[in-house]
Structure 1
């Protein structure tokens, strides 16, 4: 069992949490060509989008984090991450979808400024402010869904918790975490103590500490950040069209497969 991933990827973190919850042994590896967008590598053969995560289970190769999560749930049904009730299952999947699209885009955009210095001065201040406001909106939405429950699935840790954990934790890393004492902050404190999540977050912390040193690769063109769907939308609607144009000019951003 191999997992092509990057410790900073919220999508990969979700998968590692799920595998660890189910006690599945796996080897995690960062592809050598990660971030290059090259199409002539074993990684591209496994996933033409050249995105992580990619799960390789013997002869089976799967990409796209939600499809991987579904495969894990069906391949190793115990302990279940999805509840049995159809409405509760839909609740979990909707929570994941918002986390994977709207929330991930905000976190990604904030990282473009913090780690990769795509904007400076007034533009950087504007993008950070937009991200902070949007983060509060998303956390309020998550808190409403959590309610008074211990986990998003009620009494049992589940699918929605695995999906939301990397998103909220990255906000905390950015200094945009939920207000202390709120239900979402207490949920984050609980989830950090869970072994599957604690191991995944520890890997994130190590990679995040090294990101400043690696950021030059992504501005020099040695690596290219992927401006996919909701991420591109976030940058444009938040006032960062200049960032996109500069990336196109300098050749240090890319768009999803197929390019050209």
Structure 2
């Protein structure tokens, strides 16, 4: 199997953890021109939105992290990542959906400010404070979902856990993690003991170390950041209206195919 990905993508991290948990052999490739919306070749043919992750498995061409997880669960049901109970399965999918939309948007917004320099001075500090409050709300919700269980998935690690993993880990990376000894901090300690997670997080950290000049690449036109659905909503409600307008004027933001 070939997985088109980028180590910083939380969506790709989910899939890599699942592949590793299932003990499947795969290789990874970061498509040339990823982040511009103009990547071509086999990747673009398989992913019309020019987004990672995209999985190539024989004749199968699959994009979207959730659909890839479903494909892997269908084709390689053991070890199972989804619990058997229908209500528990729905719970895992709801946790995934919230993290993939609301939590991802907050983390992504912070990266726009911290790495890509979309805001400076008072505006940046105000937006980062807003993101911190939102992160705390999301973490409170997740703490309630975890309860006194060892894993979000229930008795064993699974779908819900790998869906939370990249987002909560990035909060810790940004200095917005929960206090030591908190339920989420303890869960994360258990999480990073898993080889599948440790390898994936190590790849994230190595890629993050190379983001020091990200704002220069944006300014030079090498990158056009994708402002899709929940990300655009986050900008609009969190003080980033002018950022969106400036990005449109400078042509360094883009929207999902086929609109631009």
| TM-score bracket, shorter-length normalisation | over 0.9
Cα distance, 1:241 vs structure 2: 0.4
Match of 1:241 in 2: 241
Aligned-partner SS, 2:151: coil
Q: Return the alpha-carbon distance in structure 2 between the equivalents of residues 52 and 245 of structure 1.
A: 26
* Structure 2: distance between partners of 1:59 and 1:42: 12
Shift of 1:42: 3.0
Per-residue CA deviations over 1:93-126 (Å, capped at 9, x if unaligned) read: 0000000000000000011100001000111011
Task: Determine if contact 1:220/1:252 at 8 Å carries over to the other structure.
Answer: no
SS of residue in 1 equivalent to 2:51? coil
1:141 matched to 2:141: yes
- 2:30 alignment partner in structure 1: 30
Q: How does 1:45-194 map to 2 (within 5 A)?
A: 45-194=45-194
How many Å separate the matches in 2 of 1:44 and 1:215? 25
The structural deviation recorded for 1:154 is 1.6
Contiguous gaps of at least 5 residues in structure 2: none
1:13 match? 13
User: What is the CA–CA distance in structure 2 between the aligned matches of 1:14 and 1:40, rounded to whole Å?
Assistant: 24
The 1:40/1:191 distance shift into structure 2, 3 A limit, reads closer
SS in structure 2 of the partner of residue 28 of structure 1: strand
Gaps spanning 5+ residues in structure 1: where? none
Q: Deviations over 1:184-240 (max 9, x none)?
A: 110011101110000000000000000113442123221111000000000010010
2:31/2:39 contact within 8 Å kept? no
SS of aligned partner of 1:211? coil
Residue in 1 that maps onto 2:226: 226
TM-score, with structure 2 as normaliser: 0.98
Aligned residue pairs total 260
Q: Tell whether the 8 Å contact from 2:55 to 2:63 is kept in structure 1 after alignment.
A: yes
Aligned residue number for residue 257 of structure 1:
257
How many Å apart are 1:259 and its aligned residue?
2.1
Instruction: Give, in whole Å, the separation in 2 of the partners of 1:259 and 1:179.
Output: 43
- TM-score, normalising length: structure 1: 0.98
* Aligned equivalents of 1:163, 1:218: Cα separation in 2: 29
Structure 2 Cα separation of the partners of residues 103 and 132 of structure 1: 11
Check conservation: 1:39, 1:45, Cα contact below 8 A.
Answer: no
Task: List, as ranges, runs of 4+ consecutive aligned residues in structure 1 with deviation greater than 6 Å.
Answer: none
